[in-house]
Structure 1
Amino acid sequence: MSSVNSAGKQAARSPVGRRLGPAYCAHRLLICCLSLALLGLGLSACKPEPLVEPAPASSAAPAADIDRAPATGASDASVMKELERIERAGPVKPVESERYLLALQARVKPGSAELLELLILRSNLAINRRDTASAESHMKLMREWPNPRLAAEAKLAQHVLRARLLAQSGQLELAKKELSDLNSYSAGPTSALRRAYSLLGALQSDTGNADAALLNLHQALKLAEKTGEAWRRVDLLGSLANTYVEAQQLERAEQTINEALLEAERDPDTYMLLNVQTMRGIIYAELGKHALAQRAKQEALAHARRSGVEDLLSLALANYADYHLKQGNYTEALRLAEEALPLAMKTQDLSSQAVALANMGLAKIALKRVEEGKRDALAGIAIDAKRGANSGASIGWQELGAYLEKAGDLPGAADAYHRYRKLIDQALRADTRKAVLEAQARYDDERRAQELELLNRDMNLKSEQLRERDLRLKLWAALGGCVLLSGVLLGLAYQRIRKTNLALASSNAALRVQGERDPLTGLSNRRHFQAAIKRLADQGRLSGTVFLIDIDHFKRINDGYGHAAGDSVLIEIAKRLRSTLRDEDLVVRWGGEEFLIVVDTRDAAYAGTLAQRLLDHIGSEPVSHGGQSIPITASIGFASFPIAPQGLALSWERAIDLVDTVMYMAKAHGRNKAYGIQSIAAEDEASLLLLAARMEAAWHEGSVQLLALQGPEPVSPPT
């Protein structure tokens, strides 16, 4: 498991077409008939000129120097410059920074913006060293701020500092609530609003809400760019890159962190380079560029040791341990994690403790110390879960499941996979199951181009409407001569407007279809599924057969063959599913490498036959990509609802959870298999859920009847 000092998916904008009814011109045609004739061929003539704004200028911040004494009798502007210099050096020179700020405080005007900014810096330094009492005393001064013009600014600063204290103690949800009303504040003379957006974005990223995190981090980046300090921009780019990783937009993450590195190298300092190299190491490891990942993590560790700051060093050690885990160097990974853990505990850094414990546990499991390792890994996951860091907890369960599977602990692996799936599914269902980022960054550009095209069409239409009104006023004098032509022009106008309406209706329909289709595979997405499931769920209870399919070792395909090859595999799997199923069957790309199928039948025999056919069609032959032959198999879980023998009806959410459980059993029992539920000896839903929670044991006891199917022997690529 890797981590960075907190960092988040930008919400897509949906262009809306404007409708025009045929009656719009019918009752005015006798007045403006000539204008319609003149405009008949000109409705698409106007193209709005693009607006080009100059890029904001930025200047490199001077390297921080805390050791020189504060100036006496300094102006307000020079005081702010001094505070910027101290803020930059603070993470690696906390003692010198506090001493300097204390000396400077006596020379700053009471009630001024400079004093408020100084107290913000002192509070942050106090929070960094876990000195809650000092932080509270500074916040008390803010509550009693004497200058009414800065009262709102002081109140916002208190919320930001209170949120930091809550986050530090692991109360991430309460911390987010402290920052829930940022829209009511405007940017003032201090850093309070920028810090608020940055912290809120980091908290949202940590708790799995990447969409909102990206919006708030971009807002913080805009405020940082206005200061003209390049190092602030670097910090925010690092946070954005981390959030792109959480959203699995790895190409965008790599582009963002390389932009940050170029900026950092113009005016480098230890803390900035440590953060940038840490993030580069995580991104390159995800992309499978292992040599670059090792170099970046080595540089991050060197910067952390050079800083002398224990919490920075503990995080760098824990991240480097993660690299060695992924390379199979388990002894070295364990050594680094064991070095990181006491430092993280000494500084009370919960995030670093969670990463160190998780990596210690995984290394021990790989070294055949399974029970000891499982305890350490579960302790790390528990820290993230208690903090509300859902992103870290879900990754922890996923990695624990993989390592337990390799170690032969199949029940433990199945349980870990199921818990991982629960956390991921909760994140995907939040906010009425809003659309998930399933396409890579290259599709973002395509969507933006479509949005711009639709916006231009709308602007052209409005421009033509304005021109039509102007011409109508000028053509009153020609009314008499238009009487003979009015009938013909009426027909032409009606046809023209009808064609425009049809085009707009077609465009709107295309947008609706696009919003319910996965852009990569062309299959339905979760949004379409929610609308379609209503016909199969009578009063919320599902009737039919559900299949959940997961491509085996998909991450290995991405790492070994590249993400473009992974896309080819997803596209080919979608084709094979469509060719196997009927037109009326519902096929959904459920997320990542998972596919969901709902068939309108309750025939258990047909369900087993179809599951075997799906296994055979998916694994029968490898996928071709760029001259390479990629062998593929899948793990499938399925069940028919209501559940036999009692005919228990379940909601579609419960039904998918049940199928998800047996799908992970198929994975835990060797993959390339399909497990189907034939019956469950339960009289009501509550007892059924209890048996489902211990599915493996219930199967062996005979309380659950499962059908186990084996897929074809995977075809090896030619040598």
Structure 2
Amino acid sequence: MRPLHRAWTLRHAGVLATLLLAGLPTRAQHEPHWSAWVQEGYEAPERVLARLAALRPPAGADDWRRHWWRTRGVVAAAGHVEAAADEALAELRGWSGPQASLARADARLVEAVRAEREGRVQDVEAAASDAEQAYAAVCAPAQLPGCDLPTWWRLLRLRALRAESQGLWIEARSLQLRAAEVADQAGDLYLQAWSLAAAAVASQRLGESDLAREQLASAQRLAVRDDRPETGVRVLLNRARVEERRGDPAAALRALDQALDTLRSHEMPRLRALVQANRADLLGRSGRSREAVASIEQALPVVRRFDDRRLDPLLQFNLGLAHLALGQVKPGQAELGAAVAQWERQGAQGALREALRQGGDALHAVGEHAQALAWLHRERRLTEAQDDANRDAALRELRQRRDQEAEHLDLDRLRAENLLATARLESQQWLRRVQWLIGGSLLAMAAMLGLLVVRLRGGQGPEPGARRAPWWSRWTRRRDPLTGLPHRRQLLAQALQQAQSPAGLRGSLVMVDIDHWARLSERLGAAAAPAVLAGMASRLRDAVRDADRLCRWSDSSFLVLLDETAPEALDQLAQRLLAAIGDTPIAHAGDHLAVTASVGVVAFPLEGEPAPVDWERALARVELAVYAARADGRDRAVRLIKLTARGDEERALLSHEFAQARQRGLVHWIGLERQSGETAAKLSTKLA
């Protein structure tokens, strides 16, 4: 082809392609960024609804139409545009044909969003839970047709908000962390940062300050990478909640002031009202009541324009506190009572509990002692109910974690067996080649190998007809492949055998848990962390006695089973274990990392523990001892010496509500601090 002809052809081919593409719907027409429109619609619902109405769906695009109706319904429900929300609900509920089940789930999402705005807590959970199950089915483990990850994220967030509003912090954190994982899969930094920051609030409420800091730091890193101002504001809002819970209201106010500065150049009235509501709460607690009133008066019109009944009682309650502080008792009482009544109708048990506590203190300060006492009694009853619910949630989480660990162990076993099977197959193929090449020489070699095996077995051959697995197979089944320690199944079998005897478990359990292992392993990296853990195991193996049974129990914990041992010997063992981990830093990449451990020790029978003691109770008690060591600052050991719990309720507190068990004096222990070298153990009796 001549150059001129080729140029003419290419030019006209380009024109033809342009004409053809012009006749096709663009990606923007077919696949709008539905999640971004939901976020924009939170602040400007009418504008987004108008833009949605201008869209024209492609022919035969049922999936597109479902996304469109879901987005319209969510924006309208969140923005208090009731007619549009009702229209979307009717369309989604009556959906027929493909993806009808997901359309019904979308309708439940719209119902949950409306219920959340109206403060109907129980309705949020009922609707969001149903819809979340439907999306989980098409989004995990693989993303099937119909999956929309941001929608799944919203359902998890709604469920987490419901749990948080009822004071169920363990459940709330679990849901927020799942939401963060879903946002990560979706590649949405805004949603991921928001969920991680909210999880940090739950961690702080559970008393896990270090974990809360780590989660906030992760959220902040994501916010820096994202260019949307609302990402940073969401992180700052949750940072303020964490700082306030830590007892640093000044740091919390700084975070909220920074959030307001960020919003000054952006038209986000609802997010600004949320910041002002939280700021008013802190100003009131800091004695700056007039500033609190001014902040509330700025936020209240926006909140009521969108009929946000979740924020309305918070603003009304803080206004009541401010009026009480300014000496305006009657208006303050009325506003507090109205806010408490709203939270009670909504079923927001967590907010109600905090309001009764704060309001009771404020009423007492202005001389309204009878009402203050009545609120105190209500707050105590609510606290007991929430503690029961948190205990149940902790038990469910513990069971789920143990099930997951068991699955991981089974997978490790299957991998090891697969490797062994592959090795045996390759060995057989090699032997066949050798047999083909050297013939009769193989018989002599087999005889020599047979003599060697007999020698290795100490001269004891197998019984006639018996078949034994190769020694390396038996070793792998009995040993943890990473540390070389006996497998936990070995220790568990011995412990269960003892526990099933009429006398129950008699002996001692010692658990060693590496402090801050998740953070340490992240710093070490995936390649180095297993080697370091194996080194820790070697140190522990040198510290225990020959008769003690040591195994790796979980990712970062080790368990020792001992026969009946004198208390002094147990304390000495605990000191050796602490020193084995903490005395020598880990050398890594030219640096030396300090590593410590929390050690729990329990001897059975334990005073105050009903006999016989089964394995589950024994394990729960040694975990309690580890928790006590962590609560006292880590890098130490705790040996339980006595329980004073009476009845099932108090015994349940020992397993799931350590702080309350400690306050009630249900557990007594001996604390041991790590002493370097041969220094004698420093003992201090602890009563908790």
TM-score (norm 1): 0.55
Change (3 A) 1:73 1:222: farther
1:222 aligns with one of 181, 189, 200: 181
Q: Which residue of 2 aligns with 1:98?
A: 49
Change (3 A) 1:332 1:109: same
Instruction: Write the mapping of 1:71-150 to structure 2, written as runs, cut at 5 A.
Output: 73-76=24-27, 79-104=30-55, 106-145=56-95, 148-150=97-99
Distance 2:396 2:287 in 1: 31
Contact between 2:189 and 2:222, CA under 8 Å: does it hold in 1?
yes
Using the TM superposition, give the Cα deviation of residue 338 of structure 1 relative to its aligned residue in structure 2, in angstroms.
4.0
Change (3 A) 1:253 1:305: same
Distance 2:645 2:85 in 1: 64
Q: Which residue of 2 aligns with 1:347?
A: 306
1:265 aligns with one of 214, 218, 224: 224
Distance 2:49 2:82 in 1: 15
Q: Which residue of 2 aligns with 1:657?
A: none
Does the alignment pair 1:179 with 2:117?
no
Q: Which residue of 2 aligns with 1:162?
A: 111
| Residues 158-167 or 226-235, more deviating | 226-235
The aligned amino acid for 2:98 is R
Change (3 A) 1:241 1:521: same
Does the alignment pair 1:383 with 2:450?
no
Q: Which residue of 2 aligns with 1:596?
A: 664
Instruction: Write the mapping of 1:62-73 to structure 2, written as runs, cut at 5 A.
Output: 73=24
Distance 1:566 1:168 in 2: 40
String of CA shifts for 1:504-552, please: whole Å, max 9, x gaps: 246677999989xxx999799xxx99996999xxxxxxxxxxxxxxxxx
The aligned amino acid for 2:26 is S
Contact between 1:205 and 1:246, CA under 8 Å: does it hold in 2?
no
Change (3 A) 1:322 1:462: same
String of CA shifts for 1:561-587, please: whole Å, max 9, x gaps: xxx999549999x99x979x9899989
Name the SS of the counterpart of 1:282 in structure 2.
Answer: helix
Name the SS of the counterpart of 1:350 in structure 2.
Answer: coil
Name the SS of the counterpart of 2:98 in structure 1.
Answer: helix
String of CA shifts for 1:84-128, please: whole Å, max 9, x gaps: 543443333433322222112x24445432232222222122113
Distance 2:313 2:601 in 1: 38
Change (3 A) 1:565 1:417: farther
Q: Which residue of 2 aligns with 1:25?
A: none
Distance 1:110 1:231 in 2: 33
Q: Which residue of 2 aligns with 1:276?
A: 235
Q: Which residue of 2 aligns with 1:675?
A: none
1:428 aligns with one of 376, 387, 391: 387
Name the SS of the counterpart of 1:344 in structure 2.
Answer: helix
Using the TM superposition, give the Cα deviation of residue 434 of structure 1 relative to its aligned residue in structure 2, in angstroms.
4.9
1:316 aligns with one of 259, 275, 283: 275
Name the SS of the counterpart of 2:138 in structure 1.
Answer: coil
The aligned amino acid for 1:98 is L
Does the alignment pair 1:235 with 2:191?
no
Change (3 A) 1:513 1:291: same
Q: Which residue of 2 aligns with 1:367?
A: 326
Contact between 1:246 and 1:391, CA under 8 Å: does it hold in 2?
no
Using the TM superposition, give the Cα deviation of residue 408 of structure 1 relative to its aligned residue in structure 2, in angstroms.
4.9
RCO higher in structure (CA 8 A, sep ≥6): 1
The aligned amino acid for 1:256 is Q
The aligned amino acid for 1:387 is Q
Using the TM superposition, give the Cα deviation of residue 433 of structure 1 relative to its aligned residue in structure 2, in angstroms.
4.0
Distance 1:91 1:162 in 2: 16
Distance 2:335 2:259 in 1: 25
The aligned amino acid for 1:153 is L
String of CA shifts for 1:430-486, please: whole Å, max 9, x gaps: 387454899xxxxx9xx9999979966994699489969999x99999799899645
Using the TM superposition, give the Cα deviation of residue 380 of structure 1 relative to its aligned residue in structure 2, in angstroms.
1.7
Change (3 A) 1:454 1:565: closer
String of CA shifts for 1:615-659, please: whole Å, max 9, x gaps: xxxxxxxxxxxxxxxxxxx9x9xxxxxxxxxxxxxxxxxxxxxxx
Distance 2:122 2:645 in 1: 45
1:286 aligns with one of 245, 249, 252: 245
Change (3 A) 1:390 1:122: same
The aligned amino acid for 1:112 is D
How many residues align? The count is: 491
Using the TM superposition, give the Cα deviation of residue 135 of structure 1 relative to its aligned residue in structure 2, in angstroms.
0.9
Q: Which residue of 1 aligns with 2:214?
A: 255
Using the TM superposition, give the Cα deviation of residue 329 of structure 1 relative to its aligned residue in structure 2, in angstroms.
1.8
Change (3 A) 1:163 1:523: farther
The aligned amino acid for 2:663 is F
Distance 2:23 2:315 in 1: 46
TM-score (norm 2): 0.57
Contact between 1:301 and 1:313, CA under 8 Å: does it hold in 2?
yes
Task: Give unmatched runs, 5+ long, in structure 2.
Answer: 1-21, 140-145, 429-445, 470-474, 479-485, 500-504, 512-552, 554-596, 614-627, 669-686
Using the TM superposition, give the Cα deviation of residue 390 of structure 1 relative to its aligned residue in structure 2, in angstroms.
1.3
Using the TM superposition, give the Cα deviation of residue 137 of structure 1 relative to its aligned residue in structure 2, in angstroms.
0.8
Distance 2:341 2:374 in 1: 15
Contact between 2:161 and 2:172, CA under 8 Å: does it hold in 1?
yes
Contact between 2:216 and 2:239, CA under 8 Å: does it hold in 1?
yes
Task: Give unmatched runs, 5+ long, in structure 1.
Answer: 1-70, 439-443, 536-563, 600-613, 615-633, 637-719
Distance 1:292 1:284 in 2: 6
Q: CA RMSD in A?
A: 5.6
Distance 2:185 2:407 in 1: 32
Distance 1:421 1:270 in 2: 41
Change (3 A) 1:426 1:295: same
Overall identity of the aligned pairs, in %: 20
Distance 1:189 1:462 in 2: 32
Q: Which residue of 2 aligns with 1:503?
A: 491
Contact between 2:138 and 2:147, CA under 8 Å: does it hold in 1?
no
Change (3 A) 1:73 1:245: farther
